[in-house]
Chains A and B, each alone.
Chain A
Amino acid sequence: MNDTEAKNDQNKAVKLTRTDQTKVPMGVLDGSVSADWQQCALACLDGVYLLNAKDKQHQRLYQHDSWVSSVHWVAEDLIVSAGYDGAIQWFNPQTKQPIDRLKLHQFWSWDMALSPDRTVLASVTGQYLAGGYKYEPQSESEPSVCLVSVKDRKVLHRLSQTPSVQAVAFSPDGRFVAAGNLMGTVRVFEVASGKLAREFNTADFTSWGIIKSHCYLGGIFALRFTPDGQHLLLAGMGPMRDPMAGNGKQRWQKWKWDQAEPQRVDQIHDKEFGEGLMEALAIDSAGDRFLMAGRLRGGNWNAALFEGATGNQLTTLKTGYRVTQAAFSDDGKRLALFGAQGQGKRNKEGEHPHFGRIEFYDA
């Protein structure tokens, strides 16, 4: 048996086994696990929570003026979050004290990434407003991509992209930052200079409504550089005739971005997808496997593990809730999923059931 055959056999045996699960009061839009995998910072609709993975105790640490869209466990004494209020907040989870707040955008922060060396944050924004008769997006009213120093809490660069810019990621070496938008345009910038390094477009994630509405919807909801830095994985949902149906194909694409003419080199394979918005991507540190997850609208899974080299589907999950974020442990053996069920009606006591979800898996 050669190495490839051995790997294939190994992959066939891949299972995702849930080891733990817990609920929090409000939906979770993002989550970040501490280095020792013992604690999580959760970006919830009503604030940033701290979850103890062992005893499942949770507490709300602080709030934004709106929903919290992103959170990063930067160090044992530092959590950084971004929100629909367009602000970034720095918070010390040990002292339970706020450190700083920076109002970064006029509109909300859709996504925020942390550079691999944990020194730079990238937050993306942009309100989709009708620019033309067919609802072509207006050009930006403020720069859509902001790079911020974690330590100094100062803006390093404000960079241009067409709104709405919904996903952002750093390259593994921290030299580049990529931002994807509603219209399927990806811009890759040099972090040090802010210079535009590459731009490409894929129309495969964006809908222009035919059935219910004439407007655009969808776009790129998650992107990640592969560990070798040469490719970008994009995730979202295939086009729909009815943008509000949420029944586009679950879709990822892999792009070779670092060449003069970026090229799509792979995408989710036929017969391996159902319907639903995919908004979470996680790649293990070796690049052997990646996970795409989101909401199930039709089909058999809403989270699936794929082989990094071939893109072949290895195993799937049907979680019963919308997955908004996923993360592998450094050794690739553990996986955390974050998300939300429907909020549900309030009960007789006037309370809503807890609808935030966190799950841990052995991969």
Chain B
Amino acid sequence: MRPKHQPNDPSPPRDLRYGCGGSEHTVHRRLFLEGSFAAGAASLASFSGLFSIPAVAEETKRAGKKCILLWLCGAPSQFEMWDPKPGTETGGPFAAINTNLPGVQVSSLMPKCATIMDKLAVVRSMSTKPSEHFQGIDALTRGDAPRPPFVRPILGSVVAEQLGQLDSPVPQFILLDPCPEGNEFKAFKAGNWAGWLGAQYGPVRAGGDYGIANLEKSAAISDLDHSDREALRSFFTKKFANDQRSEAADNYNAAYQRVKGLMSCAPLFDLNKLPVADRERYGGGAFAQHALQARHLIENGSTFVMVANGMPWDNHVFQHEMHQMLVPELDNVLFQLVSDLEDRGLLEETLVIAMGEFGRTPWLNEARGRDHYPKAWSMAMAGGGVKGGVVHGATDSQGYEVVDGKADNRNLFATIFAALGIDPHQEYELPGLPTFHRVEEDAAPIKEVLL
């Protein structure tokens, strides 16, 4: 029997603290003793052994793992990035260039990533079902199709819940997105991100005009007064919790604790506090600046940072005019991020993911744009449990079909969870709800890309 996982379970204690802005990066000691029971589970034959190890080893694998998701919303073109088809009728105007992996080429718009392909794992064989943005975003951020009225938590919420420090002053799940709109992504952003895990695992949003307001402590209140007020509030909170268990109160307190933590972390959200040289190196655009900020937040105790910039990749019109700008920015961001994390000794514990919700059509529409294409597309990962120098899967000569190594959203999420040391197939314990697993149907991870 698969061990069940209880969301919102505060025990065992998460007793280590992150120093906000400090260099001390500790690991929480939550031992998933239930992991030891997984040894007998038979349903993971496709990657047997990954989770049949002793709990301590299990904990070692997941210790300190973090994740940065470069969310390429709108769906980028695989042809102009990871799976170029130069010289074909559908290949587009950009050439392909060699990389530091013999025999592997990427688009000429990605000269920097071409030099670090030995650190990247590229999946060229994503094949998913949703062909519209909202459904695609849902499937590629939650890992599965919706099953109303139940709301599956988004990847960042799961990772924050599994790997994060609930009592850390630094938010464990942060969304950096300066664009208040975003079409379908706007609607998605307005939805329930944490799902059945609960509001405390939802993201803190920052970026652009999404500065976090009221983080400055009022000058009219002394530190002593502030401390007294906090003690009083804490007393009444505990009393209320003892007298009357309330989900609303729990959520309110979670929000309060979050704001309290944010007040102590305000400098982490100030782009102007980042070194000028770093800011220049990442590039001037909002996406690049927030990718740098993501690195900074991860270094300082956050567990999952999702970087987005509205929905810029949906290039039905101006496909190549837009990709000639967007892809070089991503190329540089990915290069800088992976290089920085490696230089800081953080790459092994930080999984970097760059993907959108699907790919683009091989054929051009009348506007010389590319439309939605979930049937065969690409994404990339690096670090944190993922093997570098791997190109998994392949498409046919014009990019119409996956011809090798087909993987869907479930396979991808199983891969991401496995890389982060999270059991992909664990069942959620949701009293009164149907049975849900982190990844349904025992979908196998893409073992070729896992360390």
Contacts of A212 in B (CB 8 A): 74, 179, 181-183, 310-312, 314
Question: Measured between alpha carbons, how far is A243 from B316 in the docked complex, in Å?
Answer: 10
| CB neighbors of B among A208-232 (8 A) | 209-215, 217
Tell me if A322 is interfacial: C-beta within 8 Å of chain B: yes
Tell me if A65 is interfacial: C-beta within 8 Å of chain B: yes
Contacts of A295 in B (CB 8 A): 366-367
Question: Measured between alpha carbons, how far is A134 from B288 in the docked complex, in Å?
Answer: 11
Q: Contact check, B366 vs A322: say whether CB atoms are below 8 A apart.
A: yes
A64 CB to closest chain B CB (Å) equals: 10
Contact of B310 among A129, A209, A246, A344 (CB under 8 A): A209
Q: Contact check, B178 vs A214: say whether CB atoms are below 8 A apart.
A: yes
**How many of chain B's residues have a CB under 8 angstroms from any CB in A?**
43
Tell me if B325 is interfacial: C-beta within 8 Å of chain A: yes
Tell me if B289 is interfacial: C-beta within 8 Å of chain A: yes
Contacts of B363 in A (CB 8 A): 342-346, 352
Q: Which of B179, B183, B367 is packed against the most chain A CB atoms within 10 Å?
A: B367
Tell me if B251 is interfacial: C-beta within 8 Å of chain A: no
| Cβ-closest chain B residue relative to A128 | B325
Tell me if B398 is interfacial: C-beta within 8 Å of chain A: yes
Known: A212-B314, A214-B178, A341-B366. A134 touches B93 (CB 8 A): no
Q: Is the interface of B mostly helix, strand, loop or mixed?
A: loop
Q: Contact check, A67 vs B312: say whether CB atoms are below 8 A apart.
A: no
| CB neighbors of B among A105-162 (8 A) | 107-108, 127-136, 138
Question: Measured between alpha carbons, how far is A153 from B347 in the docked complex, in Å?
Answer: 51
Known: A84-B93, A128-B324. A27 touches B182 (CB 8 A): no
Contacts of B182 in A (CB 8 A): 211-212
Q: Contact check, B367 vs A246: say whether CB atoms are below 8 A apart.
A: yes
Q: Contact check, A132 vs B310: say whether CB atoms are below 8 A apart.
A: no
Tell me if B285 is interfacial: C-beta within 8 Å of chain A: yes
Q: Residue-by-residue, is B306-318 near A (CB-CB < 8 Å gives 1, otherwise 0)?
A: 0001111011111
Tell me if B230 is interfacial: C-beta within 8 Å of chain A: no
Tell me if B274 is interfacial: C-beta within 8 Å of chain A: no
B66 CB to closest chain A CB (Å) equals: 25
Tell me if A361 is interfacial: C-beta within 8 Å of chain B: no
Contact of B309 among A132, A213, A242, A344 (CB under 8 A): A213
**How many of chain A's residues have a CB under 8 angstroms from any CB in B?**
48
Tell me if B365 is interfacial: C-beta within 8 Å of chain A: yes
| Cβ-closest chain A residue relative to B361 | A345
Contacts of A277 in B (CB 8 A): 317, 367
Question: Measured between alpha carbons, how far is A295 from B368 in the docked complex, in Å?
Answer: 10
Q: Contact check, A66 vs B89: say whether CB atoms are below 8 A apart.
A: no
Contact of A322 among B95, B284, B309, B367 (CB under 8 A): B367
Residues of A within 8 A of B (CB): 26-27, 45-46, 65-67, 84-85, 107-108, 127-136, 138, 164, 209-215, 217, 242-246, 277, 295, 321-322, 340-346, 352
| Those 4 A-B pairs whose CB atoms lie nearest each other, nearest first | A130-B285, A213-B312, A246-B317, A84-B93
Residues of B within 8 A of A (CB): 74, 89-90, 93-95, 178-179, 181-183, 208, 283-289, 309-312, 314-318, 321-322, 324-326, 328-329, 363-368, 398, 400
Given A164-B321, A343-B365, 11 more contacts at CB 8 Å?
A: A84-B93, A85-B95, A130-B329, A135-B325, A209-B310, A214-B179, A215-B285, A243-B318, A244-B316, A246-B318, A322-B367
